[in-house]
Amino acid sequence: MEKETIKEIFEWIYCIIIAIVIAMIFRYFIGTPTIVKQISMEPTLKQNQRLWLNRWGRTTKTLPKRGEIITFEEPSKTTLSASEIDPNNPIAKYDEQNWLGWFVHNFLEIGKRSYIKRVIALPGEHVKIENGKVYINDEELEEDYLQEGIVTDVTGPGYSDFIVPENCVFAMGDNRNHSTDCRVFGCIPLEKIESTVAIRIWPLNLWGKVD
């Protein structure tokens, strides 16, 4: 094989590697597409819909706003026993990782699972769930995005009366009866929030901002 041909092959390999690295950096810091795989956000989001996620908030370490739909890393424990529920420290549990584990899990996203939920309460707010409703600082939260007849309950061990810790958010799925969320495992720290939902890109007839 001629030297020029070998050189050209290596140049192409180099270009491909650079393109992959740039794409991965863009996906982690800027945004990425995703597919809805669960029913916990129905009727707002349904299975197999395609979304574009905005990850700039993670890059700038900015907390999402109430009502925004976010994705976050699955907690290490998604169910807690009654003895593990601590209303004075209602934060989801995550295992510590070394730098290599973090890189593989979070940057390469190998073996990683994420949840998609709606932000309900922000740091310092008092959350109370009772009689099928959500109260923020003793005022009932208006939730027009919920399907008619949906009630919000905490069945079994969980969080129903607490203050959202600093740099955390409390999030739930719109399909409350079929959603494993912060009621069960606690609030999500800012560093575990991956993105906010920017727009729905598929199906085309529903393209646009998601409320």
Q: What are phi and psi of 42, to 5 degrees?
A: -65, 145
Quote the distance between the C-alpha of residue 126 and its chain's center.
21
Residue 111: per-residue pLDDT: 84
Cβ-Cβ contacts under 8 Å for 76 (sequence gap 6 or more): 93, 94, 95
Report the alpha-carbon distance of residue 144 to residue 181 in Å, rounded: 19
Residue range 143-158, pLDDT digits in tens:
999 998 899 999 889 9
Contact 167, 187 (CB under 8 A): no
Report the alpha-carbon distance of residue 69 to residue 199 in Å, rounded: 10
**pTM higher than 0.75:** yes
Residue range 49-75, pLDDT digits in tens:
999 999 999 999 999 999 999 999 999
Which segments of the chain have a pLDDT < 70? Answer: 1
Residue 129: per-residue pLDDT: 97
- For the chain, domains (ranges, CATH) are 32-209 (2.10.109.10)
Instruction: Show the 3-state SS of 7-75.
Output: HHHHHHHHHHHHHHHHHHHHHHHCEEEEECCCCCCCCCCCCCCEEEEECHHHHHCCCCCCCCEEEEECC
Residue 1: per-residue pLDDT: 57
